């Protein structure tokens, strides 16, 4: 593999060029790599150096690939976001970063060690982490105990008998009765069995139970693993059989490009009150002449049906529902209701709340990105998927500063198809509070 060594002197890791060059040389000799070049930047803002940009240009133009060796992740970004963007760019060019750190050579893991997430106090974070690690060393509960357990005054796990019965039933149905996740969820909800919070079950909560090693008496936190830490609810053989089934049924698919849904977060099922989510389905079939045909369908569906099995199959295709919304908005422009909804003191409050909501979405998108970066660093996902979270963050930031004044409403609706997706969604989120969807009717709440 061809190696490029890169170091930025702004980060106090390698102050002497000879020291960095020697480290890259030793690494390359050890792994039988070929050194292409070694670049050491002067003290300039991370990522803005002409040398670093030239390095990225070289990598992008050469599809043969390079291994870019750096002291640590701080040399390619001053925050998690910039590190992730550079990692994605480099991986798209069939290249990768490698950190000269024996404990954390993976660049994403290294970034999480050396770079603090936005808004996190270093001192407070370290104090909390130290306290939690000390508690974890003794196998004590941190936060809420898993379903099936309680914690006593000493912080030790004790079995909650009624919940434990449900846990055993879930494993029994999934493993021995060969019921899939959806069927298990439907059985629990149809039997009026509720979660600890009194909510309906869904696929995610059941899957989390099946994968939680707490049920065989094992405690895991901060890389610490204590077996026989507490009384088990499930025997080890049944638990392992469940893990095998989860792996067998897991479908590994490619990660699609980001195709967000225009009405995302606005639609509510008119029958159960739950959110309507965007769903994409692909179908393949052959015509009578033998020709292969592929098509993709996108629609909005009540998520209670998929995740909880508690509602009917209520769906609208994206084109049909979005066209209906545009038609209704056009009518509201003509009768003045849309402009009226943002006029006067009540309208000012509505617009202010909409602006606050846009910035809240930015904060949420930042948190989701950081959490998914952690997940990717743990090897639970891939960099290609991480890019989708960065795109969602970019979209939220762009919408944060888009606002349509009342006098421009008619012009915007009149040129709707000429507007960007970001502009359309920003307008809908600013002027519409809720869209209630039934099989044959749609209601807009302003």
The answer to whether 315 and 299 have CB atoms below 8 angstroms apart is: yes
Query: Rounded to whole angstroms, how far apart are CA atoms 80 and 115?
Result: 7
Residue 341 neighbours by CB under 8 Å, 6+ apart: 347, 350, 431, 446
Give me the pLDDT at residue 255, please. 46
CB burial of residue 135 (10 Å; 0-12, 13-18, 19+)? middle
> Please, what are the domains in the chain?
2-114 (3.40.50.1390), 127-249 (3.90.1750.20), 319-445 (no CATH)
Give me the pLDDT at residue 310, please. 62
Record the pTM: 0.59
Tell me the pLDDT tens digit for each residue of 153-182. 777 788 999 999 999 999 999 999 888 888
Rg (CA), the chain: 27
DSSP at 432: -
Burial 346-377 (b: 16+ CB within 10 A, else e): eeeebbeebeeebeebbeebbeebbebbbebb
Question: First and final CA of the chain: distance in angstroms?
Answer: 59
Per mean pLDDT, which range of 6-15, 172-181, 356-365 is the poorest? 6-15
DSSP notation for 121-183? -HHHHHHHHHHHHHHHHTT---SSPPTTEEE-TTS-EEE-HHHHHHHHHHHIIIIIS---HHH
Q: Is 277 left (phi over 0), alpha (psi -120 to 50) or beta?
A: beta
Using the predicted structure, report yes or no on whether residue 141 has a pLDDT greater than 60: no
Band of the pLDDT at 127, cuts 50, 70, 90? low
Kindly report the backbone phi and psi dihedral angles of residue 291, in degrees, each rounded to the nearest multiple of 5, phi listed first. Answer: -70, 130
Query: Rounded to whole angstroms, how far apart are CA atoms 438 and 316?
Result: 9
The answer to whether 164 and 196 have CB atoms below 8 angstroms apart is: no
Q: Which residue has the tokens 């941190």?
A: 142
Q: How many CB atoms lie within 10 A of CB 193?
A: 14
Tell me the pLDDT tens digit for each residue of 268-303. 888 888 888 888 887 777 777 777 778 888 888 887
Tell me the pLDDT tens digit for each residue of 390-423. 888 888 888 887 888 888 888 999 999 888 888 8
CB burial of residue 45 (10 Å; 0-12, 13-18, 19+)? exposed
Tell me the pLDDT tens digit for each residue of 186-217. 899 889 898 888 888 888 788 888 888 889 88
Give me the pLDDT at residue 436, please. 92
Beta bridge partners of 151: 157
The better pLDDT of the pair 258, 24 is held by 24
The answer to whether 112 and 371 have CB atoms below 8 angstroms apart is: no
Pairing of strands 224-226, 149-151: unpaired
Q: Which residue has the tokens 């050491």?
A: 40
The answer to whether 41 and 9 have CB atoms below 8 angstroms apart is: yes
DSSP notation for 401-424? T----GGGHHHHHHTGGGS-HHHH
């Amino acid at each position: 593999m061809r190696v490029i060594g890169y170091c930025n002197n702004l980060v106090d890791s390698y102050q002497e060029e000879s020291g960095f060059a020697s480290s890259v040389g030793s690494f390359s000799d050890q792994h039988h790599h070929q050194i292409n070049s070694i670049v050491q930047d002067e003290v300039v803002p991370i990522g803005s150096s002409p040398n670093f940009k030239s390095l990225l240009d070289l990598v992008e133009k050469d599809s043969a690939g390079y291994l870019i060796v750096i002291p640590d992740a701080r040399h390619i970004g001053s925050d998690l976001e910039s590190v992730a963007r550079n990692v994605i760019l480099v991986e798209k060019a069939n290249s990768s970063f490698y950190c000269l750190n024996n404990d954390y050579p993976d660049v994403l893991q290294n970034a999480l060690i050396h770079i603090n997430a936005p808004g996190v106090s270093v001192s407070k974070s370290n104090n909390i982490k130290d306290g939690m690690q000390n508690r974890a060393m003794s196998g004590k509960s941190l936060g809420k105990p898993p379903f099936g357990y309680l914690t006593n005054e000493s912080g030790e796990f004790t079995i909650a008998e009624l919940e434990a019965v449900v846990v055993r039933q879930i494993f029994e149905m999934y493993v021995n009765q060969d019921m899939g996740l959806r069927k298990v969820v439907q059985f629990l909800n149809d039997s009026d069995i509720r979660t600890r919070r009194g909510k309906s079950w869904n696929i995610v909560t059941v899957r989390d139970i099946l994968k939680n090693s707490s049920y065989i008496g094992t405690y895991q936190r901060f890389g610490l693993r204590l077996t026989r830490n507490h009384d088990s609810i499930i025997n080890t053989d049944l638990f392992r059989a469940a893990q095998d089934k989860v792996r067998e049924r897991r479908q590994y698919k490619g990660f699609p490009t980001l195709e967000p849904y225009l009405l995302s977060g606005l639609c509510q099922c008119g029958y159960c009150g739950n959110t309507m989510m965007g769903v994409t389905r692909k179908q393949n079939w052959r015509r009578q002449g033998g020709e292969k045909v592929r098509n993709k369908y996108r629609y909005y569906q009540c998520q209670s049906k998929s995740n909880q099995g508690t509602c009917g199959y209520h769906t609208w295709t994206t084109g049909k529902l979005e066209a209906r919304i545009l038609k209704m908005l056009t009518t509201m422009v003509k009768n003045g209701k849309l402009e009226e909804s943002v006029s006067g003191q009540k309208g000012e409050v509505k617009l202010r709340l909409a602006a606050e909501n846009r910035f809240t979405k930015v904060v949420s998108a930042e948190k989701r990105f950081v959490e998914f970066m952690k997940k990717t660093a743990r090897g639970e996902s891939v960099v290609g998927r991480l890019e989708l979270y960065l795109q969602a963050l970019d979209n939220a930031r762009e919408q944060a500063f888009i606002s349509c004044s009342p006098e421009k409403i008619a012009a915007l609706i009149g040129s709707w198809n000429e507007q960007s997706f970001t502009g359309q969604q920003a307008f809908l989120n600013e002027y519409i509070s809720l869209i209630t969807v039934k099989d044959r009717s749609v209601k807009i709440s302003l």
